[in-house]
């Protein structure tokens, strides 16, 4: 039981901070917060991602490239240009490291405007820190695992950030339904995204990139946004100036896909 609780808590906390802090705040600046709260959330992002911590700068540059070039050859992680999810994630890792280690310089328009906390970013990227977190996960399992098979879950803890990235980047542009026509292959996979805290509403998000809410329809639930509304209500974040999704039923995709999508491999059955 302790292992199940730990696994679910680590999974959900890690993907929440990835979605809330790295993605919606760091890469898109969809809402505001004070410099002090920014530090608190930066720390929590590091603490929950632990051994697989992603820096806001590396994440933001890669993600902005993804929006600018979605599902074209210049997209850093389109599932339509890779044979499987592992080759896609390996290439993504290489590109991420190139930006973080300074081997590749991004165009100015993709750089800047992300949260910076040099101490945490330096610490979080060191092997000794990553190994210490991994050691902590192993120690927890040694204390609480009641069956040997449970140790098979450890790799998920070690690689939590990339695991979420793999699910969102692969499935979010391959499987599911579309609400809006767009010139990419983005899809919404789960009407209630319990798996990645709202990140799987890729189609809604690509249509309204600056909206803090990723749910567009009345029956769609974006768990991260539900929490964000609470944080906004108590003044921890400020969503006053945030983009609102404004669309009419005529904007909704029915059976016909947008013409521009013909260039992208899309299963007509979807």
Interface ranges with Zn ion (CB under 5 A):
202
Which residue number, 202 or 213, has a Cβ lying nearer to Zn ion?
202
Which residue number, 42 or 63, has a Cβ lying nearer to Zn ion?
63
Minimum CB–partner distance for residue 251 and Zn ion (Å):
19
Contacts of 41 (CB under 8 A, 6+ apart): 17, 20, 21, 25, 33, 115
Which residue number, 14 or 202, has a Cβ lying nearer to Zn ion?
202
Minimum CB–partner distance for residue 3 and Zn ion (Å):
32
Minimum CB–partner distance for residue 208 and Zn ion (Å):
10
Q: Which residue, judged by CB position, is nearest to Zn ion in the bound state? A: 202
Cα–Cα–Cα angle for 27, 28, 34, nearest 5°? 90
Give the Cα separation of 174 and 144 in Å (integer): 38
Minimum CB–partner distance for residue 102 and Zn ion (Å):
24
Which residue number, 46 or 59, has a Cβ lying nearer to Zn ion?
59
Minimum CB–partner distance for residue 186 and Zn ion (Å):
5
Which residue number, 50 or 176, has a Cβ lying nearer to Zn ion?
176
Q: Indicate the burial class of 199 (C-beta count within 10 angstroms; 0-12, 13-18, 19 or more).
A: buried
Which residue number, 51 or 186, has a Cβ lying nearer to Zn ion?
186
Cα–Cα–Cα angle for 169, 175, 176, nearest 5°? 120
Are 110 and 57 spatial neighbours (Cβ–Cβ below 8 Å)? no
Are 182 and 206 spatial neighbours (Cβ–Cβ below 8 Å)? yes
3-state secondary structure of 72: coil
Closest-CA residue to 44 (of 63, 25, 58, 60): 25
Give the Cα separation of 254 and 239 in Å (integer): 31
3-state secondary structure of 98: helix
Closest-CA residue to 212 (of 222, 36, 203, 220): 222
Which residue number, 202 or 204, has a Cβ lying nearer to Zn ion?
202
Minimum CB–partner distance for residue 49 and Zn ion (Å):
18
Closest-CA residue to 162 (of 94, 224, 252, 73): 94
Minimum CB–partner distance for residue 211 and Zn ion (Å):
10
């Amino acid at each position: 039981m302790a292992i199940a609780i730990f696994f679910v808590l680590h999974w959900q906390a890690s993907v929440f901070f990835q979605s809330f802090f790295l993605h919606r705040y760091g890469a898109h600046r969809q809402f505001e917060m004070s410099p002090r709260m920014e530090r608190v959330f930066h720390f929590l992002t590091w603490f929950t991602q632990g051994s697989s911590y992603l820096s806001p700068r590396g994440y933001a540059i890669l993600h902005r490239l993804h929006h600018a070039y979605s599902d074209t050859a210049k997209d850093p992680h389109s599932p339509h240009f890779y044979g499987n999810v592992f080759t896609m994630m390996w290439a993504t890792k290489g590109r991420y490291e190139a930006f973080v280690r300074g081997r590749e310089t991004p165009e100015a328009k993709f750089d800047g405007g992300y949260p910076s906390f040099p101490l945490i970013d330096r610490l979080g990227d060191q092997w000794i820190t990553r190994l210490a977190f991994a050691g902590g996960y192993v120690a927890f399992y040694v204390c609480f695992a009641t069956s040997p098979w449970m140790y098979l879950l450890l790799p998920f803890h070690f690689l939590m950030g990339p695991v979420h990235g793999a699910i969102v980047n692969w499935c979010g542009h391959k499987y599911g339904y579309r609400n809006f026509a767009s010139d990419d292959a983005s899809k919404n996979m789960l009407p209630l995204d319990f798996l990645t805290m709202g990140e799987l509403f890729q189609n809604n998000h690509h249509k309204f990139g600056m909206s803090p809410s990723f749910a567009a329809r009345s029956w769609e639930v974006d768990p991260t946004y539900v929490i964000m509304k609470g944080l906004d209500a108590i003044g921890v974040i400020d969503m006053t100036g945030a983009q609102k999704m404004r669309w009419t039923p005529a904007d909704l995709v029915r059976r016909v896909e947008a013409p521009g999508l013909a260039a992208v491999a899309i299963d007509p059955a979807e």
